[in-house]
Amino acid sequence: MRSVSSTKSFHDAAAEALQNPSLRAALDKAGAGFLTTRSRAFASLENARALTDAAQQARTRAVDGMADLLLLFEERARAQGVSVHWAETAEQARETVLALCAGKRRIVKGKSMASEEIELNKALSRTSAEVIETDLGEYIVQLAEEIPSHIIAPAVHKTRAQIDALFRHHHGGKGGESSQNRVRSSQALVEEARRVIRQKFLHAEIGITGANMLIAERGAALLLTNEGNGDLSAVMAQRHIVLAGIERIVANDRDAAAVLRVLARSATGQSLGTYVSLYGGTGDAHKDTHVVLLDNGRSAMHGGAWHDMLRCIRCGACLNHCPVYTKVGGHAYGWVYSGPMGKVLSPLLAEAGTDARLKRRVAALPHASSFCGRCVEVCPVGIPLTSLMRKLRNRHFERPESIGGWKTKLGCLCLRFLFAYPRLYRVFLALALRLLKTAARGKGHVAFLPGLGGWTKTRDFPINRRARSALALCERANRNASHTP
């Protein structure tokens, strides 16, 4: 993958992203739109709180009863002739899908983050099959040989000019009705993509989609799309494969509806996606449907400290409202999940896998937050994202795995010691304030501070001109007052 280096840390990738003017332009443009539409969608409701409460309850029921509900889903799905496959690891999931695709050459895919998670396209491309992503954003990202930078808007990091250039390159450059130099309109680009992708639908042998929910009582998968590509992927080919994480389960239609009411509102500000599709048994002898249930670390999160994260409905609201995400975009996070939810999910899922480099790359993500808390505020299912990040930090503290981790631990232990002996703390502080004042040479700030290079690289460090702490000043004032009755 071009866009995600195999070793670069968030810190370095983010710094690089900040230097990329077209990325900044794309993010700024998309970012504002998401916020306006979402706030409008919720503001127009009389009982927004009741809706999010209901969604949270539905997801809580789903996640708490995950094991039983999954078995019920399997039973009901099988009763309709749907084949259900369990995959404990990414590798097993890939093997299952590859086996189902054996001998087939033409595969169309609807958007599926689970398939990105297990790098399904890479595995399929090693066979003789041709896989085409049919969601426009995913298609763009696929042509660019990148990974999605946003869970619901995969190509949000691309400008129209970049997409135009990409299409000209891959579609043989014949799409333009006007001069080669002018960037075509969004509509023209969409039409061209539609022409290309429609041909793929017509000849597809296998359709692969994800699922927003797996409805246990119904034994059916639910998918929300805006482009209708999910339905075409599911219906046109003879075989439909649904790939979904096990935590996509919900108990019944009512709970699915409760989630649906907040999903599109949170994601794009629509009251509902354009297409809401249910895939169960078809009753058609020439058509078979398979559901691949992906664990890949999810069941390990169940019941423990990370349980709440399983509630996530992948709406992307936390990304859109995150001041860090909106500055650097998704690729800096080093994997397919980004933003606040990615900071929690990526390290946890990576641990379950076997990719040591991925594990190292995403380990520090929970530290890349200012804890502003806006993600928690907008999460429609009440996931305490900042608390979860803090818990992950706590785990690093208990078992440091990097030099940075050891440095943090050492720093904390020193502070603990100073805090335990306030007199020593005062002596230390007095000394430090003197030194700072000397270094400032009559000014109110220093431009460089050893140990705080990360700060002083871009900011002056304000100092205390009096070189005495507030407590020291007050004590002196009290002493003076008692001497002059």
Partner 1 sequence: MTEETPSKVAVLATCLADALRPQTVLATCTLLTRANPDNKPPALPKRQTCCGQILYNAGDRKGAALQALRVIDLFEPFQAVVVPSGSCAGMLKRHYPHLLAGTPHARRAEACAKKSWELTEFLHLHLPRKDSSRNSSQGSSHASLKDPPPLTWHDSCSCLRECNGSAACARSLLARYGFRLHEAREREVCCGFGGKFSVANSAVSTSMADDKLARLEQSGAKVVSSCDLGCLLHLAGRARRRTLPLSFFHIAELLVEQESPHRDALPQELLPIGA
Least distance to partner 1 from the beta carbon of 310, Å? 21
Q: Which is nearer to partner 1, 14 or 291 (CB)?
A: 14
Q: Which is nearer to partner 1, 106 or 327 (CB)?
A: 327
Going from the C-alpha of 358 to that of each of 194, 239, 314, 348, 361, the distances in angstroms are: 35, 32, 21, 11, 5
Least distance to partner 1 from the beta carbon of 409, Å? 8
Please, which residues bridge with residue 109 across strands?
133, 208
Least distance to partner 1 from the beta carbon of 431, Å? 12
Contact indicator for 52, 261 with CB cutoff of 8 Å: no
- For helices 253-267 and 21-43, angle between their N-to-C axes, nearest 10 degrees: 130
What tokens appear for 442 in the block? 């009559």
Least distance to partner 1 from the beta carbon of 408, Å? 5
- How far apart are alpha carbons 56 and 53 in whole angstroms? 5
Q: What is the largest CA-CA distance in the chain?
A: 102
Entry field: residues in the chain = 485
Least distance to partner 1 from the beta carbon of 404, Å? 8
Q: Which is nearer to partner 1, 124 or 392 (CB)?
A: 392
Least distance to partner 1 from the beta carbon of 414, Å? 10
Query: Where do contacts with partner 1 occur on this chain (CB under 8 A)?
Result: 10-11, 14-15, 18, 323-324, 327-328, 367-374, 376-377, 387, 390, 392-398, 404, 408-409, 411-413, 415-416, 418-420, 422, 425, 429, 432-433, 444-445, 447, 452, 454-455, 457-466, 468-471, 473-475
Angle at the Cα of 155 from the Cα atoms of 108 and 138, rounded to 5 degrees: 5
Report DSSP letters for 100-128, one per residue.
HTTT--EEEE---HHHHHTTHHHHHHTSS
Least distance to partner 1 from the beta carbon of 329, Å? 11
What tokens appear for 474 in the block? 């007050």
Q: Which is nearer to partner 1, 333 or 337 (CB)?
A: 333
The identity of residue 44, as a single letter, is S
Q: Which is nearer to partner 1, 67 or 471 (CB)?
A: 471
Least distance to partner 1 from the beta carbon of 296, Å? 26
Least distance to partner 1 from the beta carbon of 137, Å? 24
Coil, strand or helix at 313: coil
The identity of residue 452, as a single letter, is L
The identity of residue 459, as a single letter, is R
Q: Which is nearer to partner 1, 359 or 393 (CB)?
A: 393
Q: Which is nearer to partner 1, 201 or 325 (CB)?
A: 325
Q: Which is nearer to partner 1, 228 or 303 (CB)?
A: 303
Q: By C-alpha distance, which of 231, 352, 139, 347 is closest to 121?
A: 139
Q: Which is nearer to partner 1, 197 or 446 (CB)?
A: 446
Contact indicator for 165, 143 with CB cutoff of 8 Å: no
- How far apart are alpha carbons 68 and 441 in whole angstroms? 69
For 437, the enclosing helix (H) or strand (E) is helix 422-440
